[in-house]
């Protein structure tokens, strides 16, 4: 793999220390046979990562997966917040060898992600959660390859297939491929409706994401109908203070804002925030998203004095989970920049 000079120097300065990777680490070869034919860019430094992973010490913690079966390349994927001890760095000809040892210090973050997902989608398997996690971390292409592998590995009547199709829809959704996303969402919904008994409870999440696609396409009234339908189902199956209720309320608030009903949007967003803060009781990405939406709504109202507080609170949570180039962080920084620009004009 290739590192920038800044990244490489940072690693050299931290030999012997623990490093946590907020994302996914893809190793493109399991082989030690490295050639130098592709060494061209002088601004990048070629490195080989030699990672030791003691399976006995890791116990049942799934910190990596062999992706070789997914494509012709030999690939290993290390998951979110796998922690490494940086043992040593030394040069062999034109390539630097970086020796690292994988530890399970990041286990609690993965466990919390799985727990939160299971609280919202009760029976979804760990393998599908793993694909969802990749998608949430902006690793869309790898998530798509992984989900395609799962899809081809299951029988047509497997209960997980609807969730895989839903997750594939989310991947296309994030990539901006809305038509493809809608196709997979519709397939997932149809599959849930054709089971006996019908999976009404599960369908709420699919309806929600169809509503989001319609929102992005500018079909606000139809989007509102899907979100209301999803909320009706959610209220039938969940308590009033469940996170799924808050998710639906936020989606409806966004429609209110599109209708220029900013006061109504703010009331609904504050209600959603109250539910989420009581439900999670700790910092959570959904709380950050809620804070960000309140900040944007206040900005539309011209209430500049409170906006920065909400946006900074959102950023402080995002920083715990994401790298600096994650879309949520970028969008929030753009909003802060716009706010400062507007304040400069006043």
Give per-residue pLDDT as tens, 127-154.
788 777 777 777 888 888 888 888 887 7
pLDDT at residue 145 in the model: 87
| Residue 300, number of CB atoms within 10 A of its CB | 13
The residue assigned the tokens 């469940």 is: 242
Supply the CATH number for residue 193's domain: 1.25.40
Query: Which residues of the chain have a pLDDT value below 50?
Result: 23-24, 26, 29-39, 62, 80
| 254 and 293 inside one domain | yes
pLDDT of residue 36: 41
How far out from the chain centre does Cα 317 lie?
14
Residue 230 counted as domain residue = no
**Residue 220 in domain:** no
Sign of the C-alpha dihedral computed for residues 189, 195, 198 and 201 taken in this order: negative
Which residue is listed with tokens 């009033």?
240
Question: In angstroms, how far is CA 34 from the centroid of its own chain?
Answer: 33
User: Same structural domain for residues 88 and 130?
Assistant: no
Pair 80, 145 in one domain = no
The pLDDT, as a whole number, for residue 31 is: 42
- Write down the pLDDT at residue 156: 60
Last residue of a domain, one of 105, 131, 152: 105
User: Residue 51 is part of a domain; what is its CATH number?
Assistant: 3.90.176.10
What tens digit of pLDDT does each residue of 16-35 get? 776 655 544 545 544 444 33
183-205: burial string, b at 16+ Cβ within 10 Å, e else: ebbebbbebbeeeeeebebbbbb
Question: Which residue from 128, 134, 170 is spatially nearest to 24, judged by alpha carbons?
Answer: 134
Q: Is residue 293 part of a domain?
A: yes
Q: What pLDDT score was predicted for residue 35?
A: 39
**Of 83, 89, 80, 172, residue with least CA distance to 134:** 80
Predicted confidence at residue 34, as pLDDT, reads 37
Residue 98 pLDDT:
87
End position of a domain, from candidates 70, 105, 140:
105
How far does CA 87 lie from the centroid of its chain? Answer: 30
Beta strands in the chain (DSSP E): 2-4, 18-20, 25-27, 44-52, 64-66, 76-78, 83-92, 95-103
pLDDT at site 29: 45
- Assess whether 98 and 14 both reside in one domain: yes
Q: pTM for the full model?
A: 0.67
One domain for residues 114 and 193? yes
Q: Are residues 167 and 144 in the same domain?
A: yes
The contacts of residue 159 (CB under 8 Å, 6+ apart) are 123, 195
Asked if the structure places residue 44 within a domain, the reply is yes
**What is the DSSP pairing of strand 44-52 with strand 95-103?**
parallel
- The answer as to whether 33 is a domain residue is yes
The verdict on residue 214 lying in a domain is no
Domain count across the chain: 3
In a domain, 226, yes or no: no
Contacts of residue 170, Cβ cutoff 8 Å, sequence gap at least 6:
132, 135, 181, 209
Q: Are 112 and 193 part of one and the same domain?
A: yes
Q: How far apart are CA 45 and CA 275, in angstroms?
A: 48
**Among 105, 132, 162, where does a domain finish?**
105
Q: What is the pLDDT of residue 329?
A: 92
Residues 34 and 94 placed together within one structural domain of the fold: yes
Q: What is the C-alpha separation between 243 and 283, in angstroms, rounded?
A: 14
Domain range for 10: 2-105
């Amino acid at each position: 793999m290739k590192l920038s000079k800044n990244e490489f120097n940072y690693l050299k300065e931290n030999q012997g220390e623990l490093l946590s990777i907020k994302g996914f680490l893809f190793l493109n070869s399991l082989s030690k046979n490295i050639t130098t034919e592709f060494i061209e860019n002088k601004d990048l430094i070629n490195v080989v990562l030699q990672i030791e992973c003691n399976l006995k010490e890791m116990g049942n913690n799934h910190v990596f997966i062999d992706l070789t079966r997914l494509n012709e390349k030999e690939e290993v994927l290390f998951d979110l917040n796998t922690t490494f001890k940086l043992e040593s760095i030394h040069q062999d000809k034109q390539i630097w060898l970086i020796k690292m040892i994988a530890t399970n210090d990041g286990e609690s973050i993965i466990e919390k992600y799985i727990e939160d997902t299971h609280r919202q989608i009760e029976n979804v398997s760990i393998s599908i959660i793993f694909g969802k996690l990749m998608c949430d971390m902006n690793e869309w292409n790898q998530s798509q390859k992984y989900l395609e592998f799962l899809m081809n590995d299951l029988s047509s009547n497997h209960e997980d297939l609807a969730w895989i199709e839903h997750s594939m829809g989310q991947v296309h959704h994030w990539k901006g491929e809305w038509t493809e996303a809608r196709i997979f969402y519709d397939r997932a919904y149809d599959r849930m409706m054709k089971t006996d008994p019908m999976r009404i409870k599960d369908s709420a999440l699919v309806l929600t994401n169809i509503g989001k696609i319609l929102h992005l396409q500018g079909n606000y009234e139809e989007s509102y109908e899907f979100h209301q339908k999803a909320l009706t189902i959610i209220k039938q199956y969940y308590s009033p203070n469940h996170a799924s209720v808050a998710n639906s309320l936020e989606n409806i608030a966004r429609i209110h804002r599109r209708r220029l009903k900013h006061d109504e949007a703010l009331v609904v967003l504050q209600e959603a925030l109250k539910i989420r803060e009581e439900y999670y009781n700790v910092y959570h990405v959904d709380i950050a998203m809620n804070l960000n939406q309140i900040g944007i709504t206040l900005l539309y109202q011209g209430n500049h004095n409170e906006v920065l507080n909400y946006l900074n609170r959102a950023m402080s949570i995002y920083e715990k989970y994401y790298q600096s180039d994650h879309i949520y962080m970028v969008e929030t920084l753009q909003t802060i920049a716009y706010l400062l620009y507007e304040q400069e004009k006043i």
